[in-house]
Structures are given as C-alpha cells and as structure tokens.
Amino acid sequence: MFSKLAIRNVRRSFRDYGVYFLTLTFGVCLFYTFNAVKGQGAMAYLAQREHPAVAVIQILVDVFSVFVAVVLACLILYANRFLLRRRKRELGTYLLLGLSQGQVSRLLFLETGVIGLVSLGAGLALGVLASFGLSALTLSMFQIDLAGMLALNFSIQAAGKTLLSFGLIFLLVMVFSGVRVSRSRLIDLIYGQRKNEVLKVRSLTPAVIQLAAGILCLAAAYATLLTFGMAIAVAVLPICIPMLALGTVGTLLIFRSLSGFVMKLVQGRPSLYYKNLNLFTLRQWLSKVHTTYLAQTVVCILLLLAIGITASSVGLNNTIASQSSYQAPFDITVQNLSGEEELVDVDQVLGDAGFDTKEKLSWSYSTVFYYNDPEVTGFENASAALRVSDYDALRLRQGKPAYSGLLPHRADQLEEELTTGSLGLSYVLIPDEMAQKLSPCRQIWSADYAGDPEATEEELMDTIQSLDVSFASWITTRLNIYQDLMGSKMLALFLGLYLGFTFLLAAAAVLALQQLSQGADNAGRYALLRRLGAEETLVARSATQQVALAFLLPLLLALVHSVVGMKAANDLIATAGKVDSVSSSAVTALVLVVVYGGYFLATALACRRMAKSA
C-alpha cells in the first residue's frame, strides 16, 4: 500500500518535485561525466602514449569529486528541507487520518527512493550523452584527425562511483526526512505554512550606514586583489584571509541593508509604490529578508566562483592553444647543430634510406643560420644571422607576407616563430649577398606531412633513427608539442568546467527551491488578492517579479565581483600568453544563460502557475 501511495504521490506532485528532480538529474549527470573522463577520446589518446598528464588529471578529478559530492549532498539536503516545508499540511493530514509518525516517515522514505531511482537512471543516461559531447569537445582541441577515438561509451567504473556516492546521499536524505517528521508537532505541520517573518521596517539611516560599510569593505577587498595580484593575494595567507573576509562581509552588508534601504527608497515615490501590485510584491519579498539575505550572500559567492572559475579555465585554455599554434608552425623540425662542420641534403639522405620525401611530405625546406659578425651586420647583441630569402620562405609557408623592411634588422623585433620547437637563437635578418661574408653555424630542416600525420611521423622517425648520421641533433614535432600542451589544456578545462558547473548548479538550485517554497506559501495571499479584485495578469506578474528580484540581485553583485576578479586573473594568465577575454566571456555567458537562466525560467513559470491556481 505504501509503495503505491508513494508512487502516486510522486506522480501527482511532479510539479513540486520538478526542480528537485532536475537538480538531482543534473547532479548525477555532472558527477558521472567528469568521473568518466579517463575513457574519453582525448584522454584515451594520451593514455596510449603514456602521457603523465593523464594520471594527474585522474587524481585531481577524484579529489574534486569528493568535494563535489559534499556540495551536492548539502544541496540535496537543502532541497529536501524546502520540499518538506512545502508538504507540511499534506503530512499533517496523514497524521490526522490516523497514520503514525513512523508510517509517515516510511512513506517519505519510499518517495525519496522512487525519486532517487528515477533521477539516477535519467542522470546516467544524460551523463553518457554529456560525456560524449565533452569527448568531442576535447578531441576538437587537437589539430589532427582523431575521429576514430570518438565513440559513445558507458563507463562502469564512473557509474559505480556515481551510484555509491548518490546512494549514500539519498540514504542521508531519507534519514533526515524521517527524523524531521518524527520531531514535528501536528499543529506545526497543519499551520506551519502560514507562518511568516515579522517585517520590521527599519529607519533609513542604519540601512545607508550598512550599505556604505559594505561598499567600503568591497572596495578594500578589490584594491587588495588588484594591488598584489591574483598569485600573491591567493597564495599568501596574511593577505588572502583579510581580503576574503572583507569581500564576504561587504557582500553580506549590502544584502542586509536592502531591507531598509529599498523600502524607504520606494516608499518615497508613491507613484511607484502604489502602482499595480508593487506594494504587495515588495512587502512579500522583504518579508523573508531576515533569512534570505544570508542565502543571497551565499548564492552571490557561489555565482562568483562559478563565473570566475569557468571564465578562467576557458581563458587559460585559449592561451595554451595559442601557445601550441605559435610553437608548432610545421609538422617537424630537425636541427643540425653541427652545421658549421657539414651541411646535409636532408631530403636526399632520407630518400637514400627509403623514405620517399616527394610522396610522404607536402613541403620541406632547409635553412642555414650563420655566425653573426658585428663588423658585417652592424649588430653586436645577436648570436646568428639569417638570409631574408630563407626567412621569407618560412613565412610564406605559414601564409604570411614576405618581409619588406630595412636590412639588416634585429629579429627579436619581428616576434616570429620560424621553427617547431625552441630555436634558441637571437639572430639578425640580412640580405642574401651578405651571407657570403659569414660562416654557417646551424642548419634547420622543416617539413609538413602529406598523409596521416601519426603514420608519417612514425615512419620518418624510424628512418632517422636507422641512419648512422649526426645531423639530427635536435628533433621537435608538432604532435609532441600538442600532446604536451593538450594535457595542460584538458586539465584546465576539465577542472574548471567541473567546479564551475557545480557552483552554478548549486546557486541556481538553492534560489529555485527557495522561491518555489515561498511561492507555495504565498498561494493563499494570491487567492486573497484575486478576491479583492486584482487582475489575473497582475497577480502572475507579481509572482514573476519576486522570482526576478531573488535571481537578479545576487547575479548583479556577482558580476561586479567577477569583473574585478577576472581582471586580476587575466593579468596572471597574460604572463603565459595572450588572453582571449572575448571567448572566455562568451562561453561563460552562454553557460549562465543555459543553466542559471533555465532555472530562473522554470521557477518563474512554476510560481506563476501556483499564483493562477491559488
């Protein structure tokens, strides 16, 4: 009987369970997706080559998964608390009908189990698809064809971790629900939803003082971060702790001041205060201010973490990507460091060894660097000289125009990368005829593959290693550089998106559940408004406006925090390369719109529906 009743309650109350179910499903999906990264295409590709980043990523994902599981457990317990509050009258009715508190606890136990099983199944199914999408995203980072590594896989190990973690969370929720019901009195269950905080309208002076103090605290925190920089401000505890404390207290004071500041501000404008249902909307929003300002502070900090971590990971990823393109203009570079002794026709040597350069290579070029003679070139602070014709040939292969400036010219002013890998030379660009007065010091042979990069490179490396020659003193390939940088890219991307999505999901779900609970509590008040003659559209608009205030206020302050935080983060990232702030901002905005905007839309529609059906 209890099983049928539990299933029926879940089916009938699906609208109440909707956001709860959505949060559970997203949590399971997120947890599975990032615990399954080891079997994804790019990770599998690096694992086959025994890349050290694979072990590091897996260890860090495991460590962060513990943190994410704790965050999701707190979030689910918080959601369950609001659901129980929403159903107080229903649970009290069960007790009035003769059920014992133990039987009601058993019913909640079964309902939680049903919700858990459904959300686990849906979350794992969605997680498999999300894992496939993340695999496609990471494979797209490689500028080589890895289409064969993309496949829709199900990770038994990741599924086992997910089932174990969420099984423990659901068990904790069941125990929590049972204890909460067993300690509730019947009168509290029947009339609990009618309880409301007493709205104590404070004078404007304390609110203004709190607002000013909050702004000063935030200004001090911002100044500390921008003055010392992200690396020092975060790493040095005597700086980090006061900065974080000032930022948190400032955020808290700003939200705390709203209870008096906004009320006085709007009341001073009667045309706005008494327009439509603004009076009702404002008082309903402020009636919970003594508890919601704490929640608003927590949500604002969660949004700051979500925005900052997501944008920083994408920005760092793009910076690393630009480094890989800069360091690898050609598929392979072979440096003959003994070029002063013997210049080698590399194409002929490889051809004699059985490697057909005309068929296997789409382009190859041999460049000679010369010892710099200041009396000839006119530049003393340079170790080598390069003919302009060789320089132009390498530039043209990269799709760049030929050099048209004055000669000779110091190369460090050109900001060019002429080889794959580190050249290690400071050189002067000289006219071709001037090279006749200089002695060779190094030979550089660069080439691009014509066919499959991996197969061609493997055959070419085998050929070079079989030769009994010393010209291949230093070999660097685009694939090796990419593999080294891909590990760093995926580490930044995986951990950034993992934590960013977790914090964003937590912030959005907390607000959604809070507003749904308050919307349910306001149902009687909406019905009273309708009996007093309020139009249906005004009642629905009032419900939407309350949700908008709850979602937009912490987001606006979090965006202000993020602007300052990202300025410091970008300054730190810029030390490693060019920062693509446009791309990182666009991706972060898209994530915000999809997740945070989706929760806002779902919550607003649900609250409007509650107001209409009251």
d(CA 165, CA 28): 9
Q: What does the pLDDT read at residue 196?
A: 47
Domain presence at residue 493: yes
Assess whether pLDDT exceeds 90 at residue 365: yes
Q: What does the pLDDT read at residue 574?
A: 62
410 & 353 share domain:
yes
Helix (H) and strand (E) counts in the chain: 23, 7
Overall average pLDDT of the 586-602 stretch: 84
Assess whether pLDDT exceeds 80 at residue 395: yes
409 & 492 share domain:
no
Query: Looking at beta carbons, which pairs linking 211-215 to residues 24 or more positions away fall under 8 Å?
Result: 211/253, 211/254, 211/257, 211/261, 213/250, 213/253, 214/249, 214/250, 214/251, 214/252, 214/253, 214/254, 214/256, 214/257, 215/250, 215/254
Domain presence at residue 85: no
Overall average pLDDT of the 341-351 stretch: 84
d(CA 563, CA 561): 6
Q: What does the pLDDT read at residue 522?
A: 75
**Structure confidence by residue, pLDDT tens digits, 422-434:** 777 788 999 999 9
Assess whether pLDDT exceeds 70 at residue 402: yes
Q: Given pLDDT bands bounded at 50, 70 and 90, which one contains residue 287?
A: low
Domain presence at residue 111: no
Domain presence at residue 17: no
Overall average pLDDT of the 245-253 stretch: 88
Domain end point (choices 454, 472, 490):
472
d(CA 206, CA 213): 10
Assess whether pLDDT exceeds 50 at residue 197: no
Q: Given pLDDT bands bounded at 50, 70 and 90, which one contains residue 308?
A: confident
Radius of gyration of the chain (CA): 32
Assess whether pLDDT exceeds 90 at residue 516: no
Instruction: Tally the C-alpha atoms within 13 A of residue 537's C-alpha that lie toward its C-beta.
Output: 1
Q: What does the pLDDT read at residue 26?
A: 83
Overall average pLDDT of the 506-513 stretch: 83
305 & 242 share domain:
no
Assess whether pLDDT exceeds 90 at residue 404: no
d(CA 104, CA 183): 12
- At 491, phi and psi to the nearest 5? -60, -45
User: Which residue reads 């694939």 in tokens?
Assistant: 479
Q: What does the pLDDT read at residue 184?
A: 61
The residues that bridge with 386 in the sheet, in sequence order, are 369, 429
Q: Given pLDDT bands bounded at 50, 70 and 90, which one contains residue 517?
A: confident
Assess whether pLDDT exceeds 70 at residue 81: yes
301 & 410 share domain:
no
Q: Which range among 102-116, 227-241, 379-393, 555-569 has the greatest average pLDDT? A: 379-393
- Is the pLDDT higher at 39 or at 59? 59
pTM: 0.70
Domain presence at residue 9: no
Residues 481 and 320: beta-carbon distance below 8 Å: no
Assess whether pLDDT exceeds 90 at residue 364: yes
Assess whether pLDDT exceeds 70 at residue 16: no
What are the start-end ranges of the H helices in 142-203? 156-182, 186-191
Percentage of the chain surpassing pLDDT 70? Answer: 76
- Is the pLDDT higher at 344 or at 340? 344
Task: Provide the 10 A C-beta neighbour count for residue 283.
Answer: 12
d(CA 403, CA 66): 56
User: Which amino acid appears at position 133 of this protein?
Assistant: G
Which strands make up the sheet holding 440-449, listed edge to edge? 409-410, 427-430, 384-387, 361-371, 440-449, 332-336, 474-477
405 & 436 share domain:
yes
> Secondary structure of 65-111 in the HEC alphabet?
HHHHHHHHHHHHHHHHHHHHHHCHHHHHHHHHCCCCHHHHHHHHHHH
Average pLDDT score over the chain: 78
Q: What does the pLDDT read at residue 387?
A: 93
588 & 462 share domain:
no
Domain presence at residue 253: yes
Assess whether pLDDT exceeds 90 at residue 508: no
d(CA 361, CA 440): 26
431 & 354 share domain:
yes
Overall average pLDDT of the 290-295 stretch: 70
Domain presence at residue 37: no
Q: Given pLDDT bands bounded at 50, 70 and 90, which one contains residue 10?
A: low
Q: Which range among 139-143, 174-178, 291-295, 605-609 has the greatest average pLDDT? A: 605-609
Region of 318 on the Ramachandran plot (φ > 0 left; ψ -120 to 50 alpha; else beta): alpha
442 & 486 share domain:
no
Kindly report the CA angle at 270 between 264 and 276, in degrees rounded to 5?
Answer: 110
How many domains, in total, are found in the chain?
3
The size of the chain, in residues, is 614
Which pair of structure tokens corresponds to residue 473? Answer: 């003193």
597 & 508 share domain:
yes
Q: Given pLDDT bands bounded at 50, 70 and 90, which one contains residue 566?
A: confident
Residues spanned by the domain of 270: 204-275
463 & 542 share domain:
no
Overall average pLDDT of the 297-319 stretch: 80
486 & 568 share domain:
yes
**Structure confidence by residue, pLDDT tens digits, 457-475:** 889 888 888 876 666 678 8
How far from chain centre, in Å, is Cα 11? 34
Residues 364 and 347: beta-carbon distance below 8 Å: yes
Domain end point (choices 422, 443, 472):
472
Q: What does the pLDDT read at residue 605?
A: 84
441 & 356 share domain:
yes
- At 468, phi and psi to the nearest 5? -95, 65
> Secondary structure of 548-571 in the HEC alphabet?
HHHHHHHHHHHHHHHHHHHHHHHH
Assess whether pLDDT exceeds 60 at residue 202: no
Domain presence at residue 186: no
What is each CA distance from 91 to 9, 384, 442, in whole angstroms? 12, 85, 85
Q: Given pLDDT bands bounded at 50, 70 and 90, which one contains residue 448?
A: very high
> Secondary structure of 437-475 in the HEC alphabet?
HCCEEEEEEEEEECCCHHHHHHHHHHHHHHCCCCCCCEE
